[in-house]
Amino acid sequence: MSEKNNNGKNKILVLGGGVAGSSAAHFLSKKGYDVTVIEKLGKCGGLSRTYRYAGHPYEFGPHVWFWPDDEINNVIRELSDDELYYIDRKLFTFVEQDNKKYRYPIHFSDIKDMPDKEEVMKQLQKHRDPDMKLKPEELPTIGDCFFGEYFKAAIGDGLYNKFMRNYTWKMWNIDGDKLKTSMVWADRFKHHYEKLKGYDPLKFEDHTLGKGIKFQVYPKRGWDHIWDRMVENSNVIHDEVDRIIDEKRPYLLTKKGDKYYFDEYHTVINTLHVDLIWGEDVLPATGRMMIPLLIPGCKKAFPEDAESLHYSSCEFQTRVTEMKVITRHESPDTLILIEVPITNDMKESCFPENAMNYALDNNLFCRRTYCQQSEEALALHKKFVDKGSHIKNLVHCGRYAEFKYWGMPETVNSAYQLSKKFEEVK
Ligand SMILES: Cc1cc2nc3c(=O)[nH]c(=O)nc-3n(C[C@H](O)[C@H](O)[C@H](O)COP(=O)(O)OP(=O)(O)OC[C@H]3O[C@@H](n4cnc5c(N)ncnc54)[C@H](O)[C@@H]3O)c2cc1C
């Protein structure tokens, strides 16, 4: 990215002002670029923005930051003025067939409480030595196999059925036997699984998500404070990207009818689904309807200070979160967020207009939040990236544009790595 385009402009156009767009704006405006962000909602931050229901702060599901690398963590320290809550996560899975909750991820010592513990143990031992260590040579290779294959071999059918089979379907709208294993290891865990051979999903000691990572935080002033600061030196235009018009002189058309010519920018950073910028809506993904449930007069609803309960059977919800465990909001009531999966083709008109307007205004309904990690979907994503590859100053960044199973840190990191390729503007 060291070359300026033919006009020598230092202008950057960012499509979408979520985590990726706000981060790109932050890193590049710091380098002296003149950044414009096009964001369809009234505020930046996307899924990670803080909204309020009856005064209770919430994001689109739990938004706890955890990441091993201080270079990126320091961005959050700085922008929050180091005003952070450190989170000690406690997560459970409710298994309807056992009518019991167990720790999440699955713990070996919880098996003794299962009604079918003998059968579960027998299956579990199949690819393990007498000390219960996995025999990597007997397992399929992660990356070359499917999710279901690996997990059934590593933990047995019994545990797979209890914890994963239905959950995977609900989460991704696809059978685990068709889901690529590459998605299982979000980048923040990669260092744990350097040699992906022999990864054990079963935990033998007390273990929470992100164990060993000290920096697990939620900003005291909410995530909205962070994204607002990230875009404070950029020009944010509240408009909706419609599509690229790929003529001799390609430009981007917005819903308001404005045109942004690519050749007027040093770089155009797309953070939206790559089919959307071509006016299409075909990339498979599962979305979420987030249902805020306020329980009046109930100060605390979840057992053992749990942050989230996963529901691994065929219930409508995938996960339910008690928000004040994260946000520490003081109230005589509590706010529960219920995550209900929705599919690509679900229309907003399925719901009463007033409820849907409220959901859209408050970011409670998103049709495409989990990009489906199937071979077909990944190939289709590549096709759309290739379609725009002749527009030399168009790049893609973020969970949707890069079609990844990424959290906030991976997304901020992606924008940071991209920004490193840009020279400072003198
Ligand atoms: C249920 C759930 C829970 C999560 N929990 C966590 C967690 O605990 N920790 C964590 O680190 N991560 C979590 N994440 C992931 C995190 O939300 C994402 O990694 C992050 O939001 C991705 O940033 P993004 O910029 O790629 O997308 P987004 O944040 O979604 O941003 C996209 C932006 O583009 C805008 N936009 C869309 N269409 C248009 C258009 N046509 N024109 C203009 N603008 C448009 C949107 O309004 C939005 O602002 C969770 C995600 C989900 C779905």
Which is it for the CA torsion 283, 320, 207, 173, positive or negative? Answer: negative
Query: Six-digit token pair at 161?
Result: 């059925």
- Tell me, in angstroms, the distance from the centre of ligand 1 to residue 47's CA: 4
Is the CB of 47 within 6 Å of ligand 1? yes
Cα 338 to Cα 350: distance, rounded to the nearest angstrom: 18
- Look up tokens 């964001």; give the residue: 39
Q: What is the pLDDT of residue 185?
A: 54
- Tell me, in angstroms, the distance from the centre of ligand 1 to residue 360's CA: 14
Q: Would you place residue 232 in the very low, low, confident or very high pLDDT band (cuts 50, 70, 90)?
A: very high
Mean pLDDT, rounded, for 154-180: 93
Mean pLDDT, rounded, for 67-96: 95
Whether 3 shows a pLDDT value over 50: the answer reads: no
> Considering the chain, what is the average pLDDT of its residues?
92
Domains and CATH numbers, the chain: 11-49+224-281+372-419 (3.50.50.60), 51-90+208-221+285-368 (3.90.660), 107-203 (1.10.3110)
Which is it for the CA torsion 183, 206, 334, 44, positive or negative? Answer: negative
- Least confident among 17-26, 71-80, 144-153, 247-256: 144-153
Whether 68 shows a pLDDT value over 80: the answer reads: yes
Q: What is the pLDDT of residue 212?
A: 78
Cα 386 to Cα 370: distance, rounded to the nearest angstrom: 22
Atom of ligand 1 lying closest to residue 400 CA: 26
HSE-up of 185 (CA within 13 Å, CB side)? Answer: 18
Is the CB of 50 within 6 Å of ligand 1? no
Which is it for the CA torsion 351, 352, 355, 361, positive or negative? Answer: positive
Is the CB of 40 within 6 Å of ligand 1? yes
Q: What is the pLDDT of residue 350?
A: 84
Q: What is the pLDDT of residue 194?
A: 54
**157 contacts 37 by C-beta, under 8 angstroms:** no
Is the CB of 75 within 6 Å of ligand 1? no
Q: What is the pLDDT of residue 5?
A: 44
Query: Six-digit token pair at 132?
Result: 């219960």
Q: What is the pLDDT of residue 211?
A: 77
Q: Would you place residue 8 in the very low, low, confident or very high pLDDT band (cuts 50, 70, 90)?
A: low
Q: What is the pLDDT of residue 184?
A: 55
Mean pLDDT, rounded, for 146-162: 94
Cα 386 to Cα 288: distance, rounded to the nearest angstrom: 28
Mean pLDDT, rounded, for 152-163: 96
Is the CB of 158 within 6 Å of ligand 1? no
Atom of ligand 1 lying closest to residue 19 CA: 25
- Tell me, in angstroms, the distance from the centre of ligand 1 to residue 366's CA: 9
Q: What is the pLDDT of residue 334?
A: 98
Pocket test for ligand 1, best of 47, 50, 51, 368 (most atoms within 8 A of CB): 47
- Least confident among 5-9, 15-19, 307-311: 5-9
Q: Would you place residue 4 in the very low, low, confident or very high pLDDT band (cuts 50, 70, 90)?
A: very low
Q: What is the pLDDT of residue 191?
A: 52
- Torsion-angle region of 306 (φ positive above 0: left; ψ -120 to 50: alpha; else: beta): beta
Is the CB of 48 within 6 Å of ligand 1? yes
Q: What is the pLDDT of residue 154?
A: 94
pLDDT digits (tens, 9 = 90+) for 320-361: 999 999 999 999 999 999 999 998 888 888 889 999 999 998
Global pTM value: 0.94
Q: What is the pLDDT of residue 374?
A: 85
Strands (E), 173-250: 216-219, 235-238, 241-245
Is the CB of 16 within 6 Å of ligand 1? yes
Give, rounded to a whole angstrom, the gap between the first and last alpha carbons of the chain.
Answer: 15
The residue whose CA is least distant from atom 19 of ligand 1 is: 407
The residue whose CA is least distant from atom 21 of ligand 1 is: 47
- Tell me, in angstroms, the distance from the centre of ligand 1 to residue 77's CA: 21
Is the CB of 408 within 6 Å of ligand 1? yes
The residue whose CA is least distant from atom 27 of ligand 1 is: 18
- Least confident among 161-170, 309-318, 343-352, 406-415: 343-352
- Tell me, in angstroms, the distance from the centre of ligand 1 to residue 57's CA: 17
Q: What is the pLDDT of residue 155?
A: 96
The DSSP H or E segment spanning 311 is strand 308-311
